[in-house]
Amino acid sequence: MKESCKRLEYVHDQLGEIIRPGISTYEINKIGDRLIREQGGIPNFLNYNGYPASICVSVNDEVVHGIPKKERLLEEGDIVSLDAGLIYKGYHSDAARTYPVGKISEEHQKLIDVTRQSFFEGIKFAREGNHLHDISNAIDDYVTSFGFGIVQDLVGHGIGTSLHEDPQIPNFRQKKRGLKLRAGMTLAIEPMINLGGWEVEWLDDDWTVVTQDGTYSAHYENTILITTGDPEILTLNSYEK
Contact residues: ligand MF3, CB under 6 A: 45, 48-49, 51, 56, 65, 83, 85, 94, 188, 190
Of 188 and 195, CB closest to ligand MF3: 188
Answer whether 181's CB lies under 8 Å from 128's CB: yes
Q: What is the Cα–Cα distance from 22 to 120, expressed in whole angstroms?
A: 32
* Partner whose binding site includes residue 238, from Co ion, ligand MF3, none (CB under 5 to 8 Å by kind): none
β-pair partners for 209 = 64, 202
In the bound state, the residue with its beta carbon closest to ligand MF3 is 45
* Partner whose binding site includes residue 68, from ligand MF3, Co ion, none (CB under 5 to 8 Å by kind): none
Give contact residues for Co ion (rule: CB under 5 A).
94, 188, 190
Answer whether 58's CB lies under 8 Å from 66's CB: yes
Of 56 and 195, CB closest to ligand MF3: 56
Contacts of 63 (CB under 8 A, 6+ apart): 81, 151, 154, 192, 194, 200, 209, 210, 211, 217, 219
Nearest distance, CB of residue 194 and ligand MF3, angstroms = 17
Nearest distance, CB of residue 76 and ligand MF3, angstroms = 27
Nearest distance, CB of residue 114 and Co ion, angstroms = 19
Of 75 and 205, CB closest to ligand MF3: 205
